[in-house]
Structure 1
Amino acid sequence: MKTTNPLARLLRQSPFKPLQEHMRVVAKCVAEFMPLFEALFERDQNRVKEIAEKIDKIESEADAIKNGLRLNLPKTIFLPVARPDLLVLISEQDSIADSVENIAGILTVREMEVPEAMRALLMELIQATIDTFNKALKVIEELDELLEVGFRGKYSSIVTDMVVDLKQTEEITDDLAKELDRILFSLEDQLKPVSVILWYKLIKEIGEVANHSENVGDRILSFLAQ
């Protein structure tokens, strides 16, 4: 009997197709990252809430794909990589969307003022985080080609170099986040305690987007090492 389940059809083509589809949905979340903070900088709280609602809907779409993959990923047929590794990979991808949603949620709970001393560095951090994610997305888009060459040969070396580049970009986000923490620490006496707590949380959560993006690259390296 032919299945009408679109995810099952994708899995028959390649276990990586749903992973790629999921990552593209996660990319829609990340695409709202900069507009979200631009609205914050402009103190347009209505726009912040609109974007947060959009992110919430996209994240739910990503969750649906993740859950569908977990339910439909075969346990008995041969897979090019171990089933648990695929599940860990999609969880890392999904955590990126979760972190973006968490950030949007914080910004809707309280109307946050951006301290002048943090503005430029904060935008640098956001852009570096987006760059880190985009490099992870590019790696995921290469999975079909890796499958064709059996995760070996010259092409695997190219992907390895892509992951190394991804990790270097993530290190930049780490440095920027640490510097923002230092600036925030110097401003603590000038800000309301709740604002200080939420800004530390926001900086950490922005860093998580980059961290999970790096973890996606690390999972691909583990595939290449098998």
Structure 2
Amino acid sequence: MSGNTILGVFAKSPIKPLEKHIRKVNECAAHLPEFFRACADQDWVRAEEIRKTISTLEKEADELKREIRNELPGGIFMPVQRTDVLELVSQQDKIANKAKDISGRVLGRKLEAPEQLLVEFEAYVNRCLDAVKQAAAAINELDDLLETGFRGREVDLVENMIEKLANIEDDTDSMQISLRRNLMAIEDKLNPIDVMFLYQIIEWVGELADLAERVGARLEIMLAR
């Protein structure tokens, strides 16, 4: 095999594309707070604009996912296992998919969080997005992990980031329980169908943090190998 061919194989490392993908996913989900604010203000034109942005970013993330899958080499020079990369990009992509689903469902119903729960709901959304940001930050350490051969201080740094991600996800679980309890206390004053959808949206927003933690878990598996 010629030197150029060997370099070509190494040049197809999936690390950079994985990092690019998680940044796109994080960008997509990060529009949810302003989307929910527009809904709370009953500014449905603005909400539709933001939903379109979220949808566009989700499609871009999906295209990046397909590129990674199609161009992922199967040779012996892969710095990480192929199955790990495929599972990681799949978990990352689900975050963007969920953000799009949330915005579509809320806008389709013209759903707003009850005024009594608005502050608590916004805090919950932001904390769930903290998990997504933390997952993105951890994935963006892959370059440095590769340079150190997945050893040493850089591994400790990423493991600490994954632990923090798990703590954030624990916070969102507690916040979801509180939010659901407070919604139940006022649900008899609300449209019953809206209440049903509100419970679903609370659950879906929480899934953003769950999915982010799964990204961290997949990264942890890569470190363990």
Q: TM-score range by the shorter chain?
A: over 0.9
Partner Cα separation in structure 2 for residue 92 and residue 113 of structure 1: 28
Partner Cα separation in structure 1 for residue 12 and residue 76 of structure 2: 13
Segments of structure 2 that go 5 or more residues without pairing to the other structure are 1-7
Partner Cα separation in structure 1 for residue 91 and residue 134 of structure 2: 15
Aligned to 1:156: 155
Does 2:127 match 1:128? Answer: yes
Aligned to 1:218: 217
Partner Cα separation in structure 2 for residue 123 and residue 197 of structure 1: 19
Contact 2:12 2:71 in 1 (8 A): no
**Offset of 1:141 from its aligned partner?**
0.9
Contact 1:128 1:169 in 2 (8 A): yes
Report the RMSD for the aligned CA atoms in angstroms.
1.5
- Which segment is superposed worse, 110-119 or 95-104? 110-119
**Offset of 1:80 from its aligned partner?**
2.2
**Offset of 1:77 from its aligned partner?**
3.2
Aligned to 1:3: none
Q: Residues 27-176 of structure 1: matches in 2 within 5 Å?
A: 27-176=26-175
Partner Cα separation in structure 2 for residue 63 and residue 10 of structure 1: 24
Partner Cα separation in structure 1 for residue 20 and residue 203 of structure 2: 27
**Offset of 1:207 from its aligned partner?**
0.6
Partner Cα separation in structure 2 for residue 139 and residue 59 of structure 1: 21
**Offset of 1:118 from its aligned partner?**
1.3
**What code does the residue aligned with 2:182 have?**
I
Aligned to 2:181: 182
Give TM-score scaled by structure 2 length: 0.92
CA shift digits 1:83-137 (9 cap, x unpaired) = 1111110011101101110110012111113212211110110111121111111
Partner Cα separation in structure 1 for residue 94 and residue 186 of structure 2: 30
CA shift digits 1:110-168 (9 cap, x unpaired) = 11132122111101101111211111111111000001111111210111011101110
Matched residues, number: 218
**What code does the residue aligned with 2:75 have?**
T
Question: Residues 208 and 196 of structure 1: is their aligned pair in 2 closer, same or farther, counting only changes over 3 Å?
Answer: same
**What code does the residue aligned with 1:47 have?**
R
Partner Cα separation in structure 2 for residue 10 and residue 196 of structure 1: 54
Partner Cα separation in structure 2 for residue 10 and residue 187 of structure 1: 60
Segments of structure 1 that go 5 or more residues without pairing to the other structure are 1-8
Give TM-score scaled by structure 1 length: 0.92
Partner Cα separation in structure 2 for residue 11 and residue 73 of structure 1: 11
Partner Cα separation in structure 2 for residue 154 and residue 76 of structure 1: 29
**Offset of 1:11 from its aligned partner?**
7.3
**Offset of 1:34 from its aligned partner?**
1.2
**Offset of 1:219 from its aligned partner?**
1.0
Aligned to 2:190: 191
Q: Report the identity percentage.
A: 38
Give the 3-state SS of the residue equivalent to 2:150 in structure 1.
coil
Give the 3-state SS of the residue equivalent to 1:176 in structure 2.
helix
